[in-house]
Amino acid sequence: DQQVKQNSPSLSVQEGRISILNCDYTNSMFDYFLWYKKYPAEGPTFLISISSIKDKNEDGRFTVFLNKSAKHLSLHIVPSQPGDSAVYFCAPSSTQGGSEKLVFGKGTKLTVNP
Amino acid sequence: NAGVTQTPKFRILKIGQSMTLQCAQDMNHNYMYWYRQDPGMGLKLIYYSVGAGITDKGEVPNGYNVSRSTTEDFPLRLELAAPSQTSVYFCASSYSGMDSPLHFGNGTRLTVT
């Protein structure tokens, strides 16, 4: 039972263009959504987050959009740079009820070509 | 400020052997976590701790044990290694649990043969 789905295992874009990474979830209790970036042989690093009370959060080149009715979020990277090449994980959580269980998607490998 | 430090980076175990994966953080975070990542999969939570002396099971705890005697350290123990435990293990910490980002170590790659 996959609560979090990142349906594109990989994505390839040209430098300077937009990268759009998608994530779908099923659990309506999720109210805080994070994106992590992971380079090979390193641990994931936090990229950007959004609370369920918002529908958009922007941080420099990175913007996350949340559509609660569709249970869908997306990460936009504009403009994409070769250094953005990494695996991106969507990770929703529920901040209520004392659960400490962050659920990770399987990840999308982004390749930005020079 | 080293963040989250994991040792060792790599380890090969024979079936039935035991080992402890070490994790230490210097950010004074109360919350600490152990995840495993199998190839092509997301991270799955093994155990977590909300403070010294308090631990709880995650999604995949079987075959593992943890302890948390100090705020800084959160070791993961494998008692009888099995091939199914071949994975990359990540330790993480956070300031206030699920409403704050996790800080990850660089992982321990474990192979059980």
- Mean pLDDT over residues A40-62, rounded? 96
Question: Within an 8 Å CB–CB cutoff, is residue B102 touching chain A?
Answer: yes
Interface A–B counts its CB contacts (< 8 A) at 63
Q: What is the DSSP letter of A104?
A: -
Q: Which of A64, A94, A102 to mutate to test the interface with B (most CBs of B within 10 A)?
A: A102
Check CB contact under 8 Å for A45 and B99. Answer: no
Question: How many Cβ atoms from other residues are within 10 Å of residue B101's Cβ?
Answer: 20
Check CB contact under 8 Å for A106 and B105. Answer: no
pLDDT computed for residue A97 by the predictor: 65
The CA distance from B81 to A33, in Å, is 34
Of the partner residues B101, B104, B105, the one whose CB lies closest to the CB of residue A49: B101
- Mean pLDDT over residues A25-32, rounded? 92
Q: What is the DSSP letter of B86?
A: -
In this prediction, residue B98 has a pLDDT band, given cuts at 50, 70 and 90, of confident
Beta bridge partners of B44: B36
- The residue ranges of DSSP E strands in A15-107, in sequence order, are 19-25, 32-38, 45-51, 56-59, 62-67, 72-77, 86-93
pLDDT in tens, B12-57: 999 999 999 999 999 999 999 999 999 888 899 999 999 999 999 9
Alpha helices in chain B (DSSP H): none
Q: Which residues contact A15 (CB under 8 A, 6 or more apart)?
A: A79, A80, A81, A82, A112, A113, A114
Q: How far is the alpha carbon of B73 from chain A, nearest alpha carbon, in Å? A: 18
Which residues in chain A are closer than 8 Å to B31, comparing Cβ atoms?
100
Q: How far is the alpha carbon of B61 from chain A, nearest alpha carbon, in Å? A: 13
